[in-house]
């Protein structure tokens, strides 16, 4: 029983991460209507910039660890959001209006560029952050077997849930959320009513990238590093994870992603670990096939 409770506790941070990523991805997908693996690359890029510039701040600028982490986070935020602005304005927006199906190819190219930029900037070195905020919080003690999570896991989970709740509030109760829903339903009709669909597209893309950046910083602060190839893997994974709850509603995407995080943790605890990714991707493909609706995509 205690082991099961520990696995359920372990699933909470992963479920929160998947849910936040899926929520952000659904915001951009609503206006783009095409698969975009660049989102996962931005997530990984933010983490890679964090470890790179935190290392620069600590080893070259001789900052104390908190200051070095803050320096890395600020630079990572600037680089990632700047990159997302350029990608959204110069590549994704023009393609979505003239040749939407080429977005998939362009996204792959952007993913490779971001991955290689991070790798070359780091001289292909694997940089690790020192562990911090690893104090164990005990939830239950059963004869020496304790159900625990670390401080950083709890803080990251709380922050990711706040991102989802804050984003849901913006989409449901603010003027920007109303115009976003209008553009996702019918961009041309929104234009005829006086809304700039291009402006909404770009702001939605940057908002999505902001969520990816925030999640990348939090995930890297916990795991300690971000692999150079993680961009492509997370891009594919988030694309399919978001589909579990459907792309039409970011909250539903987040809920489906959270359930998948729970399933992945349970499989890692009770199933063969080497088969985990195969089973997860097979399940995602099956869900995509079963939930597929025949419709014309403009």
Task: Name the 3-class secondary structure at 191.
Answer: helix
Tokens linked to 105: 């190819």
The helix (run of H) or strand (run of E) holding residue 137 is strand 136-142
| Domain carrying residue 191 | 16-129+148-290
pLDDT at res. 75: 97
Residue 24 included in any domain: yes
SS3 145: strand
In a domain, 80, yes or no: yes
In a domain, 221, yes or no: yes
Predicted confidence (pLDDT) per residue in 92-125, tens digit: 999 988 888 899 899 999 999 999 999 998 888 8
Global pTM exceeds 0.75: yes
3 assigned to some structural domain:
no
Task: Specify burial of residue 240 (Cβ count, 10 A radius: 0-12, 13-18, 19+).
Answer: buried
Q: Is 296 within a domain?
A: no
Residue with tokens 């510039």: 53
**pLDDT score of 129:** 92
The pLDDT tens digits for 10-23 are 999 999 999 999 99
Residue 159 sits in a domain whose CATH number is 1.10.3470
Overall number of domains in the chain:
1
Q: Where are the alpha helices (DSSP H) in the chain?
A: 2-32, 38-59, 65-87, 93-98, 103-121, 151-173, 175-185, 187-192, 197-223, 230-244, 250-270, 276-290
- Percentage of the chain lying above the pLDDT 70 cut: 95
CA distance 71 to 153: 22
According to the model, what pLDDT value does residue 243 have? 67
Residues 275, 152, 27, 178: is their CA dihedral positive or negative? positive
Cα–Cα distance, 173 to 175 (Å, whole number): 7
5 falls within a domain? no
Question: Can you tell me the distance from the alpha carbon of 202 to that of 93, in angstroms, rounded to the nearest whole number?
Answer: 7
Residue 124 located in a structural domain: yes
What is the distance between the alpha carbons of residues 134 and 220, in angstroms, rounded to a whole number? 14
pLDDT means per 10 residues in the chain (298 residues)? Answer: 86 93 92 88 94 94 94 96 95 89 90 91 88 88 83 96 96 94 90 90 95 95 88 78 72 87 88 83 76 48
Check: CB of residue 230 under 8 Å from CB of residue 241: no
DSSP assignments along 45-103, one per residue: HHHHHHHHHHHHHHHTS---HHHHHHHHHHHHHHHHHHHHHHHIIIIIHHHHHH-GGGH
């Amino acid at each position: 029983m205690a082991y099961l409770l520990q696995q359920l506790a372990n699933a909470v941070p992963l479920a929160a991460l998947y849910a936040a990523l899926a929520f952000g991805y659904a915001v951009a997908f609503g206006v783009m209507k095409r698969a975009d693996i660049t989102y996962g690359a931005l997530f990984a890029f933010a983490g890679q910039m964090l470890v790179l510039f935190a290392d620069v701040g600590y080893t070259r600028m001789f900052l104390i660890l908190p200051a070095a982490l803050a320096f890395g986070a600020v630079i990572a935020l600037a680089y990632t959001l700047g990159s997302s602005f350029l990608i959204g304005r110069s590549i994704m927006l023009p393609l979505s209006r003239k040749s939407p199906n080429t977005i998939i190819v362009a996204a792959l190219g952007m993913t490779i560029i971001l991955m290689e930029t991070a790798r070359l900037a780091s001289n292909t070195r694997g940089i690790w952050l020192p562990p911090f905020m690893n104090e164990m919080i005990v939830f239950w003690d059963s004869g020496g077997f304790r159900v625990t999570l670390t401080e950083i896991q709890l803080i990251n989970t709380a922050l990711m849930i706040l991102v989802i709740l804050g984003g849901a509030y913006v989409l449901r109760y603010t003027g920007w959320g109303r115009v976003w829903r209008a553009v996702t339903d019918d961009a041309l009709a929104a234009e005829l009513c006086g809304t700039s669909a291009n402006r909404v597209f770009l702001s939605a893309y940057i908002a999505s990238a902001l969520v990816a950046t925030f999640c990348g910083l939090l995930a890297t602060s916990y795991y300690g590093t971000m692999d150079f190839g993680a961009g492509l893997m997370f891009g594919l994974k988030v694309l399919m994870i978001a589909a579990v709850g459907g792309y039409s509603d970011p909250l539903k995407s987040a809920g489906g992603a959270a359930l998948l995080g729970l399933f992945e943790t349970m499989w890692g605890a009770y199933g063969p670990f080497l088969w985990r990714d195969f089973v997860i991707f097979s399940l995602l493909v099956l869900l995509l096939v079963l939930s597929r609706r025949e419709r014309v995509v403009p």
